[in-house]
């Protein structure tokens, strides 16, 4: 157990968790779902007719924050310099009229991997009742299951959205905030090294149960004082009072010693898997240099900065094969 004071580590490349990408069926249904029910705003949109897809970036503004008008140079600049996290919803043209279209929500065997996104609110019970009255479907209501006081609702595609209670001492006034993205990992030692030692995240909290463990990470300014003991009530309170999104890594005990075990990364289709979750994304200062450093540290890449038709971004693989987009702070460029 940690006992001495802990602080957020140096982050010389200024990595920051900026996005979680999900594939969607119909933006006319899913974008309003997040906007109307949870207070997300459209930050920016890209259309790529040459590749038959569009991207919708949604975020929940901080208290009193006014976002630029979507579709402007100002909104694009905001997107690629933002301090907080957003959802990237990817729409492949034609899926809205395809009766066979479905996504892998990451929670059904044999292709589990991504688990959920989460929002935080003052009153989980009141929020759940309001959402259900508005027609939102639920995977778990607050008083169902072993874990009371939290809920899981479903997006139009069937992705899970956890609803968690904001800490009593939080100064955040927004009804909802984007709270977390959860990924299942095979070996937490390897994953913590990747996200903390290489991408500059801080381990804020860990929780251990009989058959699984949870690790909560976030990008915080270097030197931020952290809870001395990550396995403590103070650590739990810390993540429930802050604004930034956390990355929740779930480790089911024993997977680390199972040589053939792997999770589905949301993208592979080599064994007939359905796609769903796409990637997490980090902004960084000095993309080219950052990718060289990652490669020297043994990280492998799906796409390097100078490959493909989009410059100013790369895709690395984390230890479980999840795609991690790394984007030059200030924006991408098209060839």
State the catalytic residues: 162, 325
Q: Cβ(67)–Cβ(59) under 8 Å?
A: yes
**Number of other CB atoms surrounding residue 61 within 10 Å:** 14
**Beta-bridge partners for 17:** 282
* Pairwise CA distance, residues 303 & 55, whole Å: 19
* Pairwise CA distance, residues 303 & 309, whole Å: 11
The H or E element spanning position 90 is strand 86-92
Per-residue tokens: 19: 């996005």
Backbone angles phi, psi at 310, to 5 degrees: -110, 120
Per-residue tokens: 175: 């009804």
Q: Cβ(181)–Cβ(20) under 8 Å?
A: yes
Backbone angles phi, psi at 97, to 5 degrees: -110, 10
For tokens 């907080």, name the residue.
84
Q: Is 98 exposed, middle or buried (0-12, 13-18, 19+ CB in 10 A)?
A: exposed
Find, among 42, 142, 25, the residue nearest to 88 by Cα.
42
């Amino acid at each position: 157990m940690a006992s001495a004071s802990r602080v957020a580590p140096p982050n010389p490349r200024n990595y920051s968790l900026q996005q979680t990408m999900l594939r969607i069926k119909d933006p006319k249904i899913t974008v309003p779902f997040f906007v109307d029910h949870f207070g997300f705003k459209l930050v920016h949109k890209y259309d790529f007719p040459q590749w038959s897809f569009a991207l919708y970036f949604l975020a929940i503004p901080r208290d009193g924050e006014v976002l630029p008008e979507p579709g402007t140079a100002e909104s694009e600049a905001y997107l690629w310099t933002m301090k907080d996290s957003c959802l990237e919803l990817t729409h492949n043209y034609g899926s809205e009229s395809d009766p066979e279209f479905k996504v892998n929500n990451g929670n059904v065997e044999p292709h589990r991997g991504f688990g959920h996104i989460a929002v935080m609110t003052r009153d989980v019970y009141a929020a759940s009742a309001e959402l259900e009255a508005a027609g939102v479907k639920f995977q778990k209501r607050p008083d169902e299951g072993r874990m009371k006081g939290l809920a899981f609702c479903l997006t139009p595609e069937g992705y899970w959205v956890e609803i968690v209670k904001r800490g009593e001492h939080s100064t955040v006034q927004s009804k909802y905030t984007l709270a977390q993205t959860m990924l299942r990992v095979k070996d937490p030692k390897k994953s913590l090294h990747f996200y903390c030692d290489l991408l500059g995240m801080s381990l804020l909290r860990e929780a251990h149960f009989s058959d699984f463990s949870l690790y909560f990470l976030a990008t915080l300014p270097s030197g931020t004082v952290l809870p001395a003991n990550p396995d403590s009530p103070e650590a739990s309170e810390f993540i429930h009072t802050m604004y930034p999104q956390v990355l929740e890594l779930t480790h089911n005990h024993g997977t680390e010693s199972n040589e053939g075990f792997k999770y589905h990364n949301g993208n592979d289709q080599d064994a007939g898997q359905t796609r769903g979750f796409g990637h997490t994304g980090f902004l960084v200062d000095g993309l080219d240099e950052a990718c060289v450093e990652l490669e020297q540290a043994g990280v492998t890449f799906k796409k390097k900065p100078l490959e493909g038709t989009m410059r100013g971004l790369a895709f690395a693989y984390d230890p479980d094969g999840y795609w991690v987009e790394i984007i030059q702070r200030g924006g991408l460029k098209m060839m």
